[in-house]
Structure 1
């Protein structure tokens, strides 16, 4: 689940590793997978070599990791047919005495790259104790068509018409002022979908979450493991749910953090986002008003909101450098509805533009169009490729028009039409959608840990509740008042959630099974402008900490 378009941001606060005591090695060493148990029979495993010092896609982020590749079927119904390549990385366990097997990692999207992820888990960058991290092989992978995983032999993932996201000039206002403007946006979305069809043809129909889960099981089998553990954020929670439903006996431990509602996949879930993002945007505006002595944007929520839309109108009339218009402002500020560690910088940039008439800080926070940014363009192409085929989207634009105008007129103005155009290619996708996997707990599935913030906007709270019900032996950890997307082992710094997740990964500890939430943490306090913690977080902000 994602809508953030062109925002670039910064690397998250490095958290001190929490002390988690206990016997991380109480679980038995995983045994090799029996022949024929995997989605794809193991042929030759993965040959690991040191990752390059300067990877063509990830740059220096893979230093210290091992790299490898794995061939898997494009179509699992024909396992010996056309093969595609998955690119993998590994941070190998250093505590072999207490070895606990592999953990597959997914940051979300769909379309988020993953080969850089093992380092932060192995080294405890965001709060996992190194005593726990050392007992696992952490496996990063670029899912099919993502990053360095290729479906066409190119050695890279897919990209479609870059001008849809990066036209090189300020885009027309997301909110159409006329039928003609709405038709123009629809034409752009249709052209994008058609370009994807021309480039990748019938291969697009195999870009399903079910096939991504089968790819995960192929990785597990190729690494000689009977079971795998898994950590997924955002869309990665849906991918984990699909995997657990298809391969319940292959799951050892699983953490689903910031959870997609399966029954809403994907059209309804995106409508739900519009309401949740509006709520989060209002929280951000109230926070700005609290610090009017710093930002001078208004001492009340309503005053700040009015000034935001005045700034938006000014940008519509006169885009900065001809590029940063109202859509680009919304895209920048949308990051603030994902996480609070961008608030200080973004509020200051908005203040500089509106109060001081200095647009440079706002330009810096926006970051420009991703014309030549492979990962951003690739992320969006894969986002569409997966969501558009997991389930059939409405093809009658009258439904899109009716649903989005209804939400907009109910007061959900911040995200609604931007989200509609972000997803609009699915109305014209060149291959039909299918039937999603039924998400359901099955015999042999161990208890999984679900982590959910009550005010998450990208994956609203109802998603965590629903998945908890679908997996009856799961445990639900709720962050009360939490507003960040991605609760544990992220830059957000929730020590309570970090401790509970670390205990689960360390030795399988779970909270007692209760009615409703099984464990609760209070959300960390909101940032304070000028404080040491706010400055440290701002200096290290990282939009790639998790996929948005």
Structure 2
């Protein structure tokens, strides 16, 4: 799989209180005759020349850095377009978001088409990808992360004991201070879900559309929910796939990662148990689970080849994103059991201090996550959460509830989180695997509850992160395609059987 497709596939990526600043009055449509789109060639690397002639065109849309100061500093949002296959059948535009926050999405239209986005959808829409504000070819932000800082990305390392949380505190604080120190242009504080939703409406206006449809995965569900809530009359058909549960990710939302791994791991354990003769990980799912803890605790005590228990747990969590990753993970476990080493590529490469290729993605993830909501600042809150989740979700709870740089973030939030609007049109289709490691089923249920009569929830008896196009369930695919093409919304919530 080429780099562009891998990037689209894996972009991921899973509190109350008074918030600083007054809400920004910017839920009005972004009608601006000065905004226009001039399509041209996309930047190098967006498409792979080996795939044949370029199919995407790209353009930039100007937006205010700060919507409170619309005449002030500007930023550029780069978008891409895969034009409709049939102008006779074209009904509008379909905006995409691959997740993150921080996922680059210019190549996503072509990626989804290659993965099997139905022809009826490609006929019905100009499919629009984008690098959201701060990301990639849009006006970027950077915390200046090096390759040995950004390894765990958006998930804290597993806290093997209480002392590990205390040791994490100065690291998390240092990251927050580093981001603030590197924010030379003053952009980081304005990278938020609310502003990204405002940017979506700038894009709508620039494309000359009265309404836009939207398909978002993972964090893209938060962005889509925010857009449908802030601009309900401009939202057409909204599909939210693999849901974090609201328009923002806070500490409670992050803790659901632990729950997600508990719900998704049994599928891997059953798969591995059925191949015990090949991998030797255990003849029953219970034995495979015990093998997980045996290996994790062994690596806690004696890391090998750059792999410690925290990295082993992270790798297993990531394995559960897609069943296609089960086999290489099982090979690594087998190597650990037989030789004490993880096998080729199994450990963490040594840090060089060089700029990280993940700097931009992780910088945007932190900016959005920390700017969107208040996070606990008392370290004892994290001590209690880790202790609780180590018991409730022993596979991974002590990572998901661990200390984040958001505890020390000084740049935001500047406005309250976007509140779900349940009074708009019934135009939100929520799709969700029952066993998803990073956005568990509860996230889809929460979002459906908050939208009320505006939404329908389609749950799939399946495992992994991503349902529509990224999954293989024909029932869910037919429901989503029917909605995007014909506007056919299920009368009631429904469950699609495995298959």
Equivalent residue, structure 1, for 2:180: 197
Equivalent pair of 1:110/1:236 in contact (CA under 8 Å): yes
The runs of 5 or more residues in structure 1 that have no matched partner are: 1-7, 13-35, 151-155, 525-548
Distance 1:464 1:317 in 2: 38
Alignment length, in residue pairs? 470
From 291, 302, 311, the equivalent of 2:286 is 302
> Displacement of 1:301 after TM fit?
3.0
> Displacement of 1:102 after TM fit?
0.9
Q: Does 1:507 align with 2:486?
A: yes
Distance 1:9 1:70 in 2: 26
State the secondary structure of the residue aligned to 1:355: helix
> Displacement of 1:463 after TM fit?
2.4
> Displacement of 1:370 after TM fit?
10
Distance 1:226 1:188 in 2: 47
Distance 1:391 1:42 in 2: 33
Greater mean alpha carbon deviation, residues 198-207 or residues 492-501? 198-207
CA distances 1:64-85 after superposition (whole Å, capped 9, x unpaired): 2101111110111111101111
> Displacement of 1:178 after TM fit?
5.1
CA distances 1:189-234 after superposition (whole Å, capped 9, x unpaired): 1111100001116432212211010000001101111100100011
CA distances 1:33-69 after superposition (whole Å, capped 9, x unpaired): xxx96336241411111224x33x7765894210111
Q: Does 1:349 align with 2:329?
A: no
Equivalent residue, structure 1, for 2:149: 164
Equivalent residue, structure 1, for 2:129: 140
Q: Does 1:425 align with 2:402?
A: no
> Displacement of 1:318 after TM fit?
4.4
TM-score, normalising length from structure 2? 0.86
From 49, 64, 68, the equivalent of 1:77 is 68
Equivalent residue, structure 1, for 2:12: none
Equivalent pair of 1:450/1:464 in contact (CA under 8 Å): yes
Equivalent residue, structure 2, for 1:19: none
TM-score, normalising length from structure 1? 0.79
State the secondary structure of the residue aligned to 1:86: strand
Equivalent residue, structure 1, for 2:58: 67
Report matched runs for 1:86-235 at 5 Å.
Answer: 86-121=77-112, 123=113, 125-150=114-139, 156-162=140-146, 163-166=148-151, 174-177=158-161, 179=163, 181-200=164-183, 202-235=186-219
Q: Does 1:246 align with 2:230?
A: yes
The runs of 5 or more residues in structure 2 that have no matched partner are: 10-26
Runs (4+) of structure 1 moved beyond 4 Å?
Answer: 8-12, 57-62, 366-375
Equivalent residue, structure 2, for 1:271: 255
> Displacement of 1:449 after TM fit?
1.3
The structure-2 alpha-carbon separation of the partners of 1:177 and 1:379, relative to structure 1 and needing over 3 Å to count, comes to: same
From 373, 384, 390, the equivalent of 1:408 is 390
From 508, 511, 522, the equivalent of 2:497 is 522
Distance 1:264 1:209 in 2: 7
Q: Does 1:442 align with 2:423?
A: yes
Greater mean alpha carbon deviation, residues 503-512 or residues 465-474? 465-474
From 378, 391, 396, the equivalent of 2:360 is 378
> Displacement of 1:246 after TM fit?
0.6
Q: Does 1:485 align with 2:465?
A: yes
Equivalent residue, structure 2, for 1:542: none
Equivalent pair of 1:51/1:67 in contact (CA under 8 Å): yes
Equivalent pair of 1:165/1:369 in contact (CA under 8 Å): no
Distance 1:229 1:371 in 2: 42
Distance 1:331 1:236 in 2: 22
